[in-house]
Amino acid sequence: MIYSQTLEKLRALRLDGLAQALEEQRQQANVLQLEFEERLALLVERQWSWKENRALAARLKRAQLKFPNACLEDIDYALHRGLKRAHIEQVRAGEWVQNHRNCLIIGPTGIGKTYLGCAFGVQACRDGFRTAYFTAPKLFRALQQAHADGSLTKLLKSIQKACVFIVDDLGVAAVGPSQYRDFLEIIDDRSGNGSTLITSQYPVEQWHEVIADATVADAILDRLVHNAYRLDLKGESVRKTKNSIPAKTP
């Protein structure tokens, strides 16, 4: 009776991890050989892990990454893309987020920019940083809709709260000057306050042509490029390469 009441109180206190660990301990015949402090430490460790896992799951869900299971450990360096392990490890360390630096991933279509950007997003979530992911077309549609329904301030504040803001495939869709001015406002708000990761098939040198408004382009580049890590990918499309590999005969 006392045990069941204890479990109910633990769950009422939202200590579900500790409750699960306590139930498991009761099923272990040798657990009584442990000192009280050792058993307590195991219970606390389980509660800590349970809480951290829930928090990570919430950050990943909120981030809305295209590839939520992308992992830096799974990157294939054998592919000839000009991607160096040292460059990945440098960004992976997380100092770029702590120091509010940016990251630019540039390369042709199909080279793996989106996966790599999502992998950095997953790592940021693991490190405890709030992350937000948008494809560029989706971001500009959201900005346009926010202007129409009066929710622009709310959208901008939501983006500003993200420690890591990922914009995937910048330049892939035609966008008007007013939307790039909104984008500049986002980047300006984040300057010195958060990290922005951009993927694009267009080299930075061509962004003036993509953005069209020279003044806005200069301002965006000034805030993004000068303190950014740059990963310039080259080579054949990864999707094309993988799809061209013949299937093995059973």
Lowest mean pLDDT among 132-136, 192-196, 224-228, 235-239: 235-239
From the CB of residue 83, how many other CB atoms can be counted at a distance below 10 Å?
Answer: 21
Residue 1 banded pLDDT, cuts 50, 70, 90: low
pLDDT value, residue 248? 47
Name, in order, each residue with C-beta under 8 angstroms of 203's C-beta and a sequence gap of 6 or more: 106, 232
Q: Are 208 and 217 in contact (CB under 8 A)?
A: yes
Measured CA to CA in angstroms, residue 38 lies from 3, 18, 46, 50 at distances of: 20, 14, 13, 18
CA dihedral 143, 146, 147, 151 (to 10 degrees): -140
Which whole number is the average pLDDT over 2-8? 80
Lowest mean pLDDT among 41-45, 57-61, 115-119: 41-45
Q: What is the pTM of this model?
A: 0.83
Domains and CATH numbers, the chain: 2-58 (no CATH), 64-236 (3.40.50.300)
Compute and round to an integer the Cα radius of gyration of the chain: 23
- pLDDT, tens only, 100-146: 999 999 999 989 999 999 999 999 999 999 999 999 999 999 999 99
Name, in order, each residue with C-beta under 8 angstroms of 7's C-beta and a sequence gap of 6 or more: 19, 22, 23
Half-sphere exposure of 110 (CA within 13 A, CB side): 9
pLDDT value, residue 194? 94
